[in-house]
A and B are shown apart, each in its own frame.
Chain A
Amino acid sequence: MTAANELTAHELSRRLAKKEMSAREALAATYARIEEAEGEVGCYLLLSREVAEEQAESVDERRARGEELGALAGIPLALKDIFCTKGIETTCGSRILKGFVPPYDAHVVERCREHGLVLVGKTNMDEFAMGSSTENSAFQVTRNPWDLERVPGGSSGGSAAAVAAGTAMVAMGTDTGGSIRQPASFCGVVGLKPTYGRVSRYGVVAFASSLDQVGPITKDVRDCALMMNVLAGHDGRDSTSIEAPVPDYTEGLEGGVKGLRVGLVKELMGYQGVGVDSEVGEAIGAAAARFEELGAECGEVSLPHLNYSIPVYYIIAPAEASSNLARYDGVQYGYRTPAESGDDIVEMYRRTRDEGFGAEVKRRIMLGTYALSAGYYDAYYVKASQVRSLIRRDFDEAFEQYDVLVGPTSPTVAFRLGEKTEDPISMYLSDVCTIPVNMGGLPGMSIPCGFSDGGLPIGLQLVGKPLGEETLLRAAYAFEQSTDFHHRRVHPIAETNGVRSAVGRARG
C-alpha cells in the first residue's frame, strides 16, 4: 500500500471515508514524513501539532458518529504564514511580526476549519510575500525538494515545497504577481490563483490589495478543485469579494477539451531579451500540441502590452505596499525597537522599521513611496495604472477568440540558491510570465508539463476569463490525465547523479 503521505488528498479522502485509515493515522504519517524531510527542506516556520491532533481526533469522532463530513475532512493542510490563525503565531516571514498572535482567523482559515482540514503548520515565505525564491524570509532557507541546492520559488515557497515533499497533503498560498503559480511550477505541483475577488482576503496580511489573491497548492488538479470548493465564495468582510454563485468545481472536471479554443501567448514565450529556457519552450510547445491531440483548437495570439508588465507591476505593487505596510510602526502589535532617550515618536517608528524589515521590503517601500510622492505620481503611478488597463484590454480581446490562454509559468526551471539575491531586477524578471495575470485580475493556474534534463519540473500556465476557474480546471485536468508528470513524487533525501535531492520516481 502506498504510504499515506504519497497519496493525493482525494485518494486519502476515499480511504478515510471507507475507514481504511483514520485522520489521526494520516496526520501521524505526515509528521513522520516531516521528521524525515523537514531538516533538509525547511518548509515550516511553525508546526501546530497539538491543534492538528485535536482536529484529527474530532474528525475521527464525527465520522465514527456517522456525521456527514466534507470531502477534505481529515486532510493535513499547510498554511502560508500570511494567513491569520487565531491563537497561532503569524509572522508573514518578517521580524516585525515575530511573536504576533492573531486574535482571529482569516476567512479561509475559518472555512478550512469548518470543512475539517487539519492544520499541520505555517509555512515559510518571502517577507510580506515580496520575492520569488523564499530567500527573503527573515527566518530560514527553504530548499527545493527536487534539488536541495535550488530555490523552491516564492513567495509561497514553503507551501509548494511542503506539497512536493509530502510534508502536507494540500497547502494554501497567496499570489500577488505569481507567488502561487511560480513556486508550484518550480516544485512540480499544481497551483491556482483564482479570479481577483473569488476568495476572501479577510485576515490575510495585505501586500498589494488590488492584486493579492488566495489560492490552493495541491498534488493534482482534482485536489485543486476540491480545495476551491472550500475556499471560494462571498464574504462581507472583504469589500472586493465577488457575489457570484459558487459551482462545485469537481463537477465539470472530466468534460474534456474538445472544441476548446486554446491560445498560446507569444509574449509569454520571450521578453525583451529575457529568453525562455529552450527546455521550457519545448515543453510548452509540446503541451500545446497535446491539447490539439485532445481535440482542442490551438492557435497563437499576441498581447503586445504584456511586454510592459514588469515595470507596471513594480510601480503599482510597491505603491500599494508602501501604504499597506505603514501600519507596522511598533505601536499596536509586533516588534518595537526601544526608544532611546530624546527620541520622538517618528524616530521610534524609523528605528523599529529599520530593524524590523528586511532589505527587499525596504526597497519596495522606498520604490512605492517615491512613485506616489509629489511630482512623480503622474509619471509613475498614473502611467502604470493606464498601461494596466491596456494589459487588461489585450486579455479581453484575446478572450474573444480563445477560451484559455497558455504559456510557461516561469521562463526557467528552479534557479540556484543565492543566484539572484544580489540583483533585484533579475529576481523581478523571474515573474515575467505570471504578473500580467494579476494585472488583469484573471484566474491563472500552473500544472506540471515536463521535466528538464536535470530532472527539474517545468510548469504550464493556463489563464482564464474572469470567473473562468471551471474551464481552467477542466482544461488542466484533461492535460494532466493524458500525462504522468503528476505521478512523480519526491522521495526521501538521496543522491543521484551528484544532485542531492529527494529523488523523483514514477509512482506505479
Chain B
Amino acid sequence: MRLTPEEVEHVALLGRLRLSGEERSRFTTQLNSILEHFEQLQQVDTSGAAAMSHAVEMSNVFREDEPGKSLSAEEALANAPEEARGCFQVPRVIE
C-alpha cells in the first residue's frame, strides 16, 4: 500500500473534508488502486519536455483599468447562509 489510512486522513484535512471511518477505508483502497494505475506515467521519457499548464499560449492578459459595475452589498449577500449587519457571518475565529 502506498497511501495509509492516516495519510488519507491528513489529505482530507488539507482538502477540508471530514471523512467517516467507512469513507476513510474506502478511499484508501480506491485511491491506492487509482495511484497504481498512474504508475505507468513513470515509464514515459519526459526529458526535455516542458510542463504544459495551458493549451493556449498567452500570458499577462491586460485590460484598461476602468471602473465597471459591481454587485451591490445586498446582491452579494443574497445567497449567504448566514449574515449579520451586512457581513458574512462565520463561527468565531479570534479567541
Contacts and interface: CB of A to CB of B under 8 A. Distances in A.
A269 B13 CA distance: 41
A332 B42 contact: no
B11 A330 contact: no
B49 A351 contact: no
A466 B49 CA distance: 21
A210 B51 CA distance: 13
Interface in A307-329: 308, 310-312, 314-315, 322, 326, 329
A380 interface: yes
B91 A345 contact: yes
Contacts of A293: none
B interface: dominant SS: loop
B18 interface: yes
Given A210-B55, A366-B17, A336 B79 contact: no
Given A333-B80, A363-B27, A380 B17 contact: no
B80 A239 contact: no
B61 A387 contact: no
B91 A353 contact: no
A369 B15 contact: yes
Contacts of B14: 369, 373
Contacts of A266: none
A344 B52 contact: no
Nearest to A336: B81
A140 interface: no
B52 A386 contact: yes
B79 A100 contact: yes
Interface stretch (A51-59, A279-287, A388-396, A404-412): A388-396
Nearest to A365: B15
Contact of B79 (A101, A366, A380): A101
A332 B53 contact: no
Nearest to A385: B51
Nearest to A311: B38
Interface residues of B, number: 48
A439 B71 CA distance: 35
Given A311-B37, A385-B51, A392-B52, A354 B81 contact: no
Nearest to A339: B91
Contacts of A104: 71
A383 interface: yes
B50 A336 contact: no
B34 A367 contact: yes
B52 A331 contact: no
Contact of B18 (A315, A353, A384, A425): A353
B17 A350 contact: yes
Contacts of B8: 366
Interface in B77-91: 78-82, 88, 90-91
A101 B75 CA distance: 10
Interface of A: 99-101, 103-104, 196-197, 210-211, 236, 239-240, 242, 305, 308, 310-312, 314-315, 322, 326, 329-336, 339, 343-351, 353-354, 357, 359, 362-363, 365-370, 373, 379-380, 382-390, 392-393, 424-425, 428, 439-442, 466
20 contacts: A103-B79, A236-B63, A239-B61, A311-B41, A326-B16, A332-B79, A339-B91, A344-B93, A345-B90, A348-B90, A348-B91, A365-B15, A370-B11, A383-B42, A383-B46, A385-B51, A386-B46, A388-B52, A393-B49, A442-B55
In the A-B complex, the 8 residue pairs with the smallest Cβ-Cβ separation, listed nearest first, are: A441-B55, A333-B79, A336-B81, A385-B51, A389-B52, A350-B18, A386-B46, A369-B15
